[in-house]
Amino acid sequence: MCATVFGSLTYLSLTKTNMANDFWWANYNASREHVFIARMYNRETVLRPEANSIALDDHIFVDDTNYSSVLATAVGVSMPSLCVSQIKLADATKLEAVTSLESTVTSELDEVAVWHTHNISTFDTDWQNYKSIGIIDTYNIQNAFGFSYPMTLKHTNGTFQLNAQTSMKMYWAFASDLWAVTDPSTFNFGKSLVRQMGQFAFANVSMEQVKSGAFATFCDTIGPFGSVDVKHVAVPPSVVRFVLHVKDTMTRLRTKSLSLSAEYSAMYDPSEFCYIPASWFESGQVYGAGGNIMCPESTTWVLEGDFGFSPVRGRLTAVIALNMVVPSVNTTHEGTALCPNVCQALMLDRPLSFLKNSSYFGDNEVWFSTIAALAATAQADVRNVAVEVFQYGTVESTSSNVTFLRHTLFDESLPGFHLISWCLMVEWCLAQREVISLQGDRGTINLLTTNSPDVDSLVNPLEVPVNVASYIRYACLYVTSAIICVAFLSTLYLMANRGYVEGLNMLELNRVAGVVWVGHTLLFVRGLAAISLLSTQVLTLTPVGYQCIPPP
């Protein structure tokens, strides 16, 4: 009887932790475990979108975030686009007006067949910034009972930002016609869109005003506004494979060696730097007039280029990609000429000393040479895409003659810029930058955007379901309390009879108390709880490489 009471109390104590939520995960916290899973999914959907089944305890999913403190936000990768490739239409050159839209449910194969019958191979939307796209992305957690619960990965609200947009001038769609005839600030206000009408909006007028400065340069180089397509450019798969290979390899090595992980973390430096291709200075354009290709020229300043912050992973990947670790390669690279005082120490010396440590990487010449082959393929693919950095420039600070300054990444004529190119490519691969293609009547430019930080979303603790687990635990609490009460009454009865009872009947305490005092229904619920606890895997975050350092 004592063993029965002890076992019931032990089981009740166990359920207090393991039945804290409907997942039946002990110590699951929305600001810890959920944040880790959300960050991992958001990161890996960019690098491994085709992965089917993964193991969460794989070392490649190590997160540098310190989860010993409560996190209030879950970081999601900023991916505002709906399209990832250039338009490839077979013979479809005209899209008729949409007359009706019906809600249908068809399979993907049937949908593809319908599109092919109309000679359409892909459907891409133009890049825009007049509205932010609302996204609610979730993943499901299935418990032992087979019930799935959605947990948020991304949550953004779709809002119009017409006052801050700069993309509507690029392409003229039917929605722009409607906007032009209803906006009092346009010369088409109040006019008709029917060609036969006398007040036809575009009769004997030009859609485009006379341009000057940066906009005139844009029209001469890319094409007139209203006919420029702006498309997203997808990251070449070879770049993803290379960056993913370096990332996974370094993560596994960090989990196996605490000294390597400590030295890796010591390379962190939040310093920002600006990069300028040497060809821009050689052209005589020493003043910058703005770096946003969709905006007019701004007040000129000394040409500084774009600012960037290169994390440890980007610097290591760039050094590895340039094959600078192999002993046969001269450690003095042409990239050192960009900024010998800062770039040599920050961008080259620290990563090289780390990567050339034979105690960490062993025979690094063979290992890094293999990775360099992947880097060569990735670099060639990026060069074929012709990704460029851009700046408006002028010869004098007061000059109105604005010039297009552009440089193609991995340009063979300027190998000294390849180090910066690799840092930018890593950020592009990790969705911290985008490449948009502006395709006009006179030219095309595949432009690398500025760094875009990840979007932080507040964690909602109410997403963690607790109702079912709470009711089941209350049922277990009632069953245990009933058994304890029956055991207490049996003890009193035993004492009242001075032990003159049939001792074997004490072994039937659970059966009698369960059937008579509790009932089959609650016993069935208690049994389901026990089965679910035995059928649920444990989810635990294990710190790797963290240590407490006492203050000096």
∠ CA(483), CA(487), CA(492), 5° rounding? Answer: 150
Whether 309 maps to a domain, the answer reads no
Whether 200 contacts 192, CB under 8 Å: yes
pLDDT tier for residue 79 given thresholds of 50, 70 and 90:
very low
CB 480 within 8 A of CB 9: yes
Tokens 């310190």 locate to 66
Tell me if 396 is assigned to some domain: no
Q: Who wins on pLDDT, 408 or 177?
A: 408
In a domain, 209, yes or no: yes
pLDDT for 484: 82
- Say if residue 391's pLDDT is above 60: yes
* 49 plus 150 within the same structural domain: yes
Question: Do 115 and 53 sit in the same domain of this protein?
Answer: yes
- When pLDDT is averaged across residues 214-228 and rounded to a whole number, the result is 88
Q: Indicate whether 415 belongs to any domain.
A: no
Q: Rounded to an integer, what distance in angstroms lies between the CA atom of residue 469 and that of residue 490?
A: 31
CA 17 → CA 140, 165, 246, 524, distances in Å? 22, 51, 39, 21
In a domain, 359, yes or no: no
Find out whether 40 and 139 touch, Cβ atoms under 8 Å.
no
pLDDT top residue among 98 and 437: 437
Query: 52 pLDDT band (50/70/90 cuts)?
Result: low
- In this predicted structure, the answer to whether residue 111 has a pLDDT above a threshold of 80 is yes
Q: For residues 509 and 483, give the distance between their C-alpha atoms in angstroms, rounded to a whole number.
A: 8
DSSP designation for 450: P
Per-residue pLDDT, 235: 92
Lowest-pLDDT choice from 37-51, 239-253, 296-310, 319-333:
319-333
| Same domain assignment for residues 207 and 155 | no
Q: Which of 54-58, 316-320, 345-349 has the lowest mean pLDDT?
A: 54-58
Confidence of residue 466 (pLDDT cuts 50, 70, 90): confident
Chain-centroid distance of CA 39 in Å reads 8
- Domain co-membership, 17 together with 62: no
The region of weakest confidence among 85-94, 175-184, 188-197, 320-329 is 85-94
Number of domains in the chain: 3
User: Do 56 and 104 reside in the same domain of the chain?
Assistant: yes
Span 321-325, mean pLDDT?
63
Same domain, yes or no: 58 and 143: yes
Domain boundary among 109, 126, 161: 161
Half-sphere exposure in the Cβ direction for 42 (13 Å, CA): 28
Q: Based on the fold, state whether residues 66 and 131 are members of the same structural domain.
A: yes
> Is pLDDT at 474 greater than 90 in this prediction?
no
Q: Residue 446: pLDDT band by 50, 70, 90 thresholds?
A: very high
- The answer to whether 546 and 66 are in contact (CB under 8 A) is yes
pLDDT value of residue 550 = 47
For the stretch 255-307, pLDDT in tens is 887 887 887 777 766 666 677 888 887 777 667 787 888 888 876 565 555 55
151 touches 31 (CB < 8 A) = no
* pLDDT for the residue 346: 66
Do residues 20 and 56 both lie within one domain?
A: no
Per-residue pLDDT for 243 more than 70? yes
Cα angle, residue 276 at apex, residues 273 and 280 outer, rounded to 5°: 165
Same domain, 90 and 4: no
More confident site: 357 or 434: 434
Which residue, among 497, 359, 348, 523, has the nearest Cα to 422 in the 3D structure? 348
Quickly tell me which residue has 């076992």 as its tokens.
Answer: 7
Is 274 a member of any domain? no
Can you read off the two tokens belonging to residue 108?
């993907």
Residue 458 forms part of a structural domain: no
What phi and psi values does residue 455 have, to the nearest 5 degrees?
-90, 125
pLDDT of 74 higher than 70: no
**Percent with pLDDT over 90 in the chain:** 6
SS3 string, 355-393, reads HCCHHHHCCHHHHHHHHHHHHHHHHHHHHHHCEEEEEEE
Q: How far is CA 1 from CA 478, 482, 489, 511, in A?
A: 18, 14, 12, 12
Where does a domain end: 189, 209, 226? 226
pLDDT of residue 388: 92
Rounded distance, CA 550 to CA 478, Å?
48
Question: In three state form, how does the secondary structure of 215-265 look?
Answer: HHHHHHHCCCCEECEEEECCCCHHHHHHHHHHHHHHHHHHHHCHHHHHHHH
DSSP 452-478: -PPEEEE--GGGS--HHHHHHHHHHHH
Mean pLDDT of the chain: 76
Residues 20 and 67 in one domain: no
- Looking at the structure, tell me whether residues 146 and 38 fall in a common domain: yes
Lowest mean pLDDT among 10-24, 157-171, 176-190, 536-550: 536-550
Does one domain contain both 91 and 128?
A: yes
pLDDT tier at 364, thresholds 50, 70, 90: low
Instruction: Give the model's confidence band at 41: pLDDT under 50 very low, under 70 low, under 90 confident, else very high.
Output: confident
Q: What is the pLDDT of residue 381?
A: 93
- Report the pLDDT value the prediction gives residue 337, as an integer from 0 to 100: 45
**Tens-digit pLDDT profile for residues 412-423:** 888 878 888 888
- CA distances to 44, 266, 334, 427, 475 from 315, rounded to whole Å, are 21, 13, 16, 11, 57
Lowest mean pLDDT among 99-108, 127-136, 431-440: 99-108
In whole angstroms, give the CA distance from residue 72 to residue 86. Answer: 38
Highest mean pLDDT out of 263-272, 473-482, 502-511:
473-482
**What single-letter DSSP state applies at residue 416?**
G
Rounded to whole angstroms, the Cα distance separating 301 from 294 reads 19
Print the domain residue range for 89: 33-161
Whether 374 is covered by a domain: the verdict is no
**CA gap 411, 288 in Å, rounded:** 22
Do 57 and 252 touch, CB atoms closer than 8 A?
Answer: no
Mean pLDDT of 430-459: 86
Rg (CA), the chain: 32
Q: Which of 9-18, 24-33, 49-58, 445-454 has the lowest mean pLDDT?
A: 49-58
Average pLDDT over residues 480-484: 82
Q: How many CB atoms lie within 10 A of CB 404?
A: 18
What residues contact 278, with CB distance under 8 A and at least 6 apart?
A: 338, 414, 416, 417
